[in-house]
Amino acid sequence: MSTPGFSKTYASTGALSEDINLFEEGEKQIPVRLRIGIGGTLHVGYFDGKEDTIAYQSGDVEEAQFKTIKADGSSAQMITVYW
């Protein structure tokens, strides 16, 4: 498990309103972990082009290497991504 260097929180006042390119937000670094503050779903995109919708509970922490989090299909809030 790598140690994150910095983090950013998304959807702090409601569900996502736009897609997030985590690779760009992380200054071309791949995210290593995420934490969900308020449970719900995340519609994520991977670096190989595949997509998935994952259900999370409040407080879940996961090793994650997602390229994008898409607003369409994402209901989780207080999503903190660590790079």
Q: Are 26 and 4 in contact (CB under 8 A)?
A: no
Average pLDDT, the chain: 95
- What is the model's pTM? 0.91
Check residue 69 and give its pLDDT: 98
Check residue 5 and give its pLDDT: 87
31 three-class SS: coil
Q: Is the pLDDT of residue 58 over 60?
A: yes
Q: What is the pLDDT of residues 29-54, one digit of tens each?
A: 999 999 999 999 999 999 999 999 99
Look at the block and give the residue holding tokens 């983090």.
7
